[in-house]
């Protein structure tokens, strides 16, 4: 199972990265997790537009889903005709949210291009991947994910404040891809985001083998968050960067 960081900037694109988007590949299957601002362009460096097998959206804030509108254009108006509907798994109301974002009628909206499925807490399969979704602490309906393949585990926080569900998702994970939007001692807003120290504490509590900090906004000091994470977690820690590839197994 391979993880490619397509975009990792939090809240809005940075000069170096689009917003949240991650490509997970296993046995020839390609899953895109989140598709935030600017991510569709960067995705094409790693995967053909029509080679994606499914999309998984953690929540419906623009920095995690808005490039689905551009992806609808790319698929709907493809020279040679629209491909078969692409499975899209997201929170309740995903189809309606994207239709509103594109200023189109909600019926049929994007439903002729995307095959929408509503996420709930629990486990399901996408191709060779076993996915466990659990609600996390954010102002809107939001999910973290545990992705398993061949005895290896990738955990992804999505956007969340501290919560026990994320620790459970990350239990003994080979890699925890964890948001660190805030700075310890600066922002203190409940149920919104994690800081570097909290990301490290989560990785330590879960026994994760590796921690990669992501969703760091351009105005947040990445070096400070890395230092705070390392103070709380004894394992390897690094910051995500657009284009990085991690091999799990």
Helices H, strands E: what count in the chain? 7, 14
User: Could you give the percent of the chain with pLDDT greater than 70?
Assistant: 100
Q: Is the pLDDT of residue 188 over 90?
A: no
Residue range 121-137, pLDDT digits in tens: 999 999 999 999 999 99
**What token pair was written down for 115?**
């095959």
Q: What is the mean pLDDT of residues 76-90?
A: 97
Q: What is the mean pLDDT of residues 175-193?
A: 97
- For 134-155, give one letter per residue: b (16+ CB within 10 A) or e: bbbbbeebbbbbbbbbeebbbb
**Measuring CA to CA, how many Å separate 3 from each of 23, 32, 247, 249?**
6, 10, 7, 11
- The model carries a pTM of 0.98
Q: Are 109 and 99 in contact, with CB atoms under 8 Å apart?
A: yes
Cα–Cα distance, 15 to 185 (Å, whole number):
26
């Amino acid at each position: 199972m391979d993880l490619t960081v397509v975009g990792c900037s939090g809240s809005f694109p940075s000069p170096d990265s689009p917003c949240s988007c991650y490509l997970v590949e296993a046995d020839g299957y390609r899953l895109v997790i989140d598709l935030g601002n600017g991510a569709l362009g960067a995705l094409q460096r790693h995967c053909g537009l029509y080679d994606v097998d499914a999309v998984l959206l953690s929540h419906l804030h623009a920095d995690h889903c808005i490039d689905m509108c551009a992806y609808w254009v790319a698929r709907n108006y493809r020279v040679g005709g629209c491909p078969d509907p692409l499975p899209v798994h997201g929170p309740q109301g995903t189809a309606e949210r994207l239709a509103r974002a594109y200023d189109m009628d909600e019926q049929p909206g994007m439903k002729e291009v995307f095959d929408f499925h509503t996420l709930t807490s629990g486990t399901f399969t996408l191709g060779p991947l076993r996915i466990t979704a659990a609600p996390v602490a954010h102002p809107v309906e939001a999910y973290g994910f545990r992705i398993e393949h061949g005895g290896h585990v990738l955990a992804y926080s999505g956007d969340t404040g501290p919560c026990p569900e994320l620790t459970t998702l990350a239990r003994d994970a080979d890699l925890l891809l964890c948001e660190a939007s805030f700075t310890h001692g600066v922002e203190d807003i409940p149920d919104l985001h994690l800081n570097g120290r909290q990301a490290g504490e989560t990785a330590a509590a879960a026994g994760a083998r590796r921690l990669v900090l992501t969703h760091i906004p351009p105005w947040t000091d990445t070096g400070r968050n890395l230092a705070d994470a390392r103070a709380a977690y004894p394992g390897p820690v690094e910051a995500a960067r657009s284009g990085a590839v991690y091999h799990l197994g």
